[in-house]
Amino acid sequence: MKQHWIGGEWTGRANREPIDIINPATEEVFEQVPDGSREDAHAAVVAANKAFGVWRRMTAVSRGELLHEVADRLKARTEEIARLLTLEGGKPLRENIDEVGWCVACFRYYAELGRNSRGRVIPSIESTQLSMVLKEPYGVAVCIVPYNYPLLLMTWKVAPALAAGNTVIIKPSSITPLATLALSECFDVLPPGAVNIVTGSGEEIGHALVAHPDTHVVAFTGSTGTGRKIARQCAESFKKVTLELGGKDPFVVCEDSDVEVAARAVAWAACLNAGQVCTSSERIYVQRSIADRFLEALVNFTGTLRIGPGIEPSTDIGPLARDHYRRNVEEHVEEARKRGAVVLAGGKRPAGFQKGYYYEPTVLTNVTPSMKVMTEETFGPVAPVMVYNDFDEAIRLAQGTQYGLGAVLFTRDALKAKTFFEEVRAGSIWINDPLTDNDAGPFGGMKMSGLGRELGLEGLEEFMETKHVHWDFVQQEKPWWYPYKRE
């Protein structure tokens, strides 16, 4: 059984039943991790605070060099760690190889950015003064990570937190903790306690870390409901928090689009990682004049996607991470069907699989705005398609959600593109290229999709406090009404 990684050492308590790690392709338990306690969380906080005194005083150049070494070690173990990601999460191996590569790039990006961003000098009000705006680390950062991209979404938090001079405690998902624990061999080049990994439930470990008086900033990716709870906890002590929460992203296809290309893009945006992507396109809006051709192309293409265990090279769509996530998808599709939606492709568990949490890539039409597949996060390989008449209607439909994480538009019309990114309230707008990331570009949500940003300079500054230093080189006597007495 794996253990916690605290203070540069493996440690764990044996007085609790461990957490089973299940391969979603076979439903078999293949590893266990500790179900951590509040005592484990506290030990990680103590270790992280102790390391903070060392890590924050290192030069930014030295920290950057060590983060590059973390990236080097991670790159050297790409195949091994990608395989772990596939076994515990189900995502196809080639996608997990990409995920590890993205993590390597992110560590390198912040290794460089972190040593070049430390504030600014501002004009002073007198000639004998110097005014500086400094950026300083908060202290101990709590990084709570979901199951769908366990390493990438961890790296988006940990890399900038470390680059800014914070130490970190990672609470991985209980579904996919193994690849994160394997990174201990990459993090052990850092001072002991600079990175700590504690496994266990969100109700106990997550709560204990967020509420602890000696943690100073929280970065969370997960559901909107859990995000609300964390925000309330942080509000009690005015603790800094960033929240990347749920989404219900629209994908608008205009009549000037290449239908075949747009259909493949929708399939990618809806079915990547079996639809378990925060920015999956879960509401598809197609202009009426091309709707029939688009639906035909979408159905034809989704029919070519190969379902199977992620470990097999031929697999396009792996299983969902757990059966209760699949049941949620089934509930949304069934509710839509009962209310008049038409299933053009998929809509069921695939034949030929006795085990595994598989669900067919699904295309629905005749959906309405009030159906669950159009209002609640489905998080599965489902593309519900609505038809619109004019672009103003498409904008209204795209805006018709409490969420604001991302939105996609396919068009060759520059004016429509400008109108779309100005009018649609979402943190990321993709035009003609869905779901691509850029380490230098900030990522995060509006409305009920969260607070704060990850990636880019903004992602670094989420882990830095601002301090103004007002320095007068001369001890000047001031008028009597200044807030101190003259000698």
21 CB contacts (<8 Å, ≥6 apart)? Answer: 29, 30, 31, 32, 33, 88, 175, 177, 178
Q: Pick 365 or 119 by higher pLDDT.
A: 365
pTM attached to this predicted model = 0.96
Asked if residue 486 has pLDDT above 60, the reply is no
The C-alpha atoms of residue 236 and residue 259 are separated, in whole angstroms, by: 51
Is 438 domain-assigned? Answer: no
31: containing domain: 4-245+449-469
- Region of 485 (left: φ > 0; alpha: ψ -120 to 50; beta: rest) is beta
Q: Are residues 217 and 293 in the same domain?
A: no
Q: Tens of pLDDT along 274-304?
A: 999 999 999 999 999 999 999 999 999 999 9
Q: Catalytic one among 278, 282, 360, 462?
A: 278
CATH of the domain at 200: 3.40.605.10
137/185 same-domain check: yes
Residues of the chain above pLDDT 70, percent: 98
Q: Tokens 């199977």 — which residue?
A: 308
Q: Residue 477 pLDDT more than 90? A: no
Helices (H), 320-413: 323-338, 372-375, 391-399
80 is known as an active-site residue: no
Shared-domain flag, residues 272 and 134: no
Indicate which residue of 31, 88, 244, 454 is catalytic. 244
278 is catalytic: yes
Average pLDDT of the residues in 388-399: 98
Q: Supply the pLDDT for residue 12.
A: 72
- Look at the chain and report how many structural domains it folds into: 2
Residue 118 reports pLDDT greater than 80:
no
391 and 357 within one domain: yes
Average pLDDT, the chain: 96
**Same domain as 198, residue 132:** yes
The model's pLDDT over 290-342, given as tens digits with 9 standing for 90+, comes to 999 999 999 999 999 999 999 999 999 999 999 999 999 999 999 999 999 99
pLDDT digits (tens, 9 = 90+) for 453-467: 999 999 999 999 999
Domain assignment present for 259: yes
> What band does 487 get if pLDDT is binned at 50, 70 and 90?
very low
